[in-house]
Amino acid sequence: MRKRHSEESRANNSERWLLTYSDLITLLLVFFVVMYSISKADEKKFSKLNASLQRAFNVLVLDGNDKTAVGGEEGPTMGNSILDDFATLQNKIMQVAKEMGIQSNVDVVLEKEGIAIRLSGNLLFDSGRAELNPAAVRILDEIAQELRGMPNDIHVEGHTDNIPVGTDQYPTNWELSAARATAVTRYLSEIGGINPQRLSAQGYGEYRPIVNNDTRDNRSLNRRVDILIIYGNVADSLVR
């Protein structure tokens, strides 16, 4: 009887790890359910949380790239990281866009070179023109306010769809996209107060689409101006 009791005790003890394991699996399941619920309830808050988690787990150090993302230069005391800036810019700019009812025409995304503030060409300009619409002023003012205090270089990139413009003023989409990028660049400098030494304008025409130009809605997405805040190699390491 003693022997049988001893064998039963050992069997019970050997299976106790299953309780711990099942508890762990349950906790992980609950965690992912909560994360999924947060993302569905408020995608902007989820993006901010995601950036905080990456900072908490020191993503840049784990990647072997202990840099603060200002112009791709090394050093821990040069300014905010790209993740801090991305969370701040996305939160503030998208909040203003939501208040204006233009959130479908504005986006803030991570690119290989840095943070891109993406503005729809339909928001900024009339068809075939490069004069800024009055409706674009408020969002550009907000962007300028956020960018003035940052040390990063800023590239303003104009893009079009693949429909030829073919006017005397703009014979090709290159001219139109370059003129639109220049208009935004001048506004950020002359009205927004950003140091012109930090700014450059580039026109890519139809040759850097973000989606195929096979539908009207897709062509609308490709007609855009990207305000790209340059972070160099650090940004590349985050989106590769």
Instruction: Report the sign of the C-alpha dihedral through residues 132, 191, 97, 36, in that order.
Output: positive
Same domain, 15 and 128: no
**Does residue 61 register a pLDDT over 60?**
no
Q: What is the pLDDT of residues 140-155, one digit of tens each?
A: 999 999 999 999 999 9
**Does residue 57 register a pLDDT over 50?**
no
CATH number for the domain that contains residue 105: 3.30.1330.60
Same domain, 7 and 74: no
Q: What is the CA radius of gyration of the chain?
A: 25
What was the pLDDT predicted at 56? 47
- In angstroms, the CA 105 to CA 24 distance is 43
When mean pLDDT is compared across 54-68, 72-86, 150-164, the lowest value belongs to 54-68
50: which 2 tokens? 């995601």
**144 or 232, greater pLDDT:** 144
pLDDT band, residue 76 (cuts 50/70/90): very low
pLDDT band, residue 49 (cuts 50/70/90): low
- In angstroms, the CA 203 to CA 7 distance is 79
Same domain, 28 and 123: no
Same domain, 29 and 93: no
What was the pLDDT predicted at 235? 55
Around Cβ 12, how many Cβ atoms within 10 Å? 9
| One-letter identity of residue 114 | G
Same domain, 154 and 117: yes
When mean pLDDT is compared across 67-76, 77-86, 161-170, 219-228, the lowest value belongs to 67-76
* Average pLDDT score, the chain: 81
Same domain, 32 and 59: no
**Does residue 84 register a pLDDT over 70?**
yes
153: which 2 tokens? 């270089």
Same domain, 21 and 116: no
Kindly tell me the burial class for residue 43, based on how many C-beta atoms sit within 10 Å of its own C-beta (0-12, 13-18, 19 or more).
exposed
Same domain, 25 and 97: no
Same domain, 56 and 37: no
Q: What is the pLDDT of residues 6-46, one digit of tens each?
A: 555 555 566 666 777 787 888 888 887 777 776 655 555 55
Same domain, 35 and 83: no
Same domain, 215 and 142: yes
Distance of CA 125 to CAs 6, 111, 224, Å? 83, 24, 10
- In angstroms, the CA 1 to CA 115 distance is 73
Q: Listing from the earlier edge strand, what are the strands of the sheet with 224-230? A: 106-110, 114-120, 224-230, 154-159, 199-203
Same domain, 136 and 97: yes
Q: How many separate domains does the chain show?
A: 2
**Does residue 111 register a pLDDT over 60?**
yes
45: which 2 tokens? 């808050």
Residue with structure tokens 């062509």? 219
Range of the domain at 4: 1-41
Distance of CA 131 to CAs 26, 82, 135, 170, 214, Å? 58, 32, 12, 13, 27
